[in-house]
Amino acid sequence: MRLPAVFRIKICGITRNEDHLAAGLAGADRVGLNFYPRSKRYLSAEAAGLIDLESEPKPIGVFVNADVSTICNQIQRYALAGVQLHGDEPPEFLADLPDLPIVRARRMDDRGVAAIAADLEACEAAGRLPDAVLVDAYTLGHYGGTGETVSWAGLADYRKWLGNIPLILAGGLTAENVAEAIRTVRPYGVDTASGVECSPGVKDSAKMQSFIVNAKSAFEEISRD
């Protein structure tokens, strides 16, 4: 049975225990642990060992073109509450993963939402749909975390293409723009990394607090429409 959603608000790229705790106190539903070695927010085994992952919020593992065995090992090692595929994983890859929530990240290029919908059809034909689609900005040579925003207007009719698949909006979201983004796109959830940082991998607790307060307020607003 498909889960209704994976998360409403995720703080991604956690590398320090104090940031994990601050995200929880601020009200984040999930945090993201980035296991892509080339990322500025890569979480080494040494750094991960210093984070209390038994406390809330539970972690989602972010992977870029990792193999199934690597993902399974990280799921067990860090008690991951879900998996976010942020690379070029083929549609059939999803069916080989354990029975955990899967977020399939797609970078929105000039092909628009139609290309994302075609990818979902291929996933379904291969045996497993993701539990949510995370839409990030397209930047050549990068797999996210650039701080670039998505065309919110280009996502306004996403339900026409994605149907009942929850959409998670990412890409350049900050405390200053997240409410407008939510009102424009009306996603199920939002995801931020660089927008709440002092430097890559180092979070700003005040920015996280403001981001989450503003996001929750906007979600409440659109729920009343």
- Quote the DSSP letter at residue 42: B
Catalytic one of 19, 29, 136, 191: 136
Alpha carbon distances (Å) from 52 to 14, 26, 47, 121: 12, 16, 11, 38
> Two tokens at 71?
């993902």
Alpha helices in 79-127 (DSSP H): 113-126
> Can you tell me the distance from the alpha carbon of 202 to that of 15, in angstroms, rounded to the nearest whole number?
7
Catalytic one of 12, 19, 123, 191: 12
Residue in 140, 218, 134 with CA at minimum distance from that of residue 182: 218
> Two tokens at 170?
């990412």
- Please say if 123 is a catalytic residue: no
Residue in 177, 183, 117 with CA at minimum distance from that of residue 147: 177
> Can you tell me the distance from the alpha carbon of 11 to that of 58, in angstroms, rounded to the nearest whole number?
11
Instruction: Work out whether the CA dihedral 15, 137, 140, 133 comes out positive or negative.
Output: positive
- Please say if 52 is a catalytic residue: no
Active site residues: 12, 136
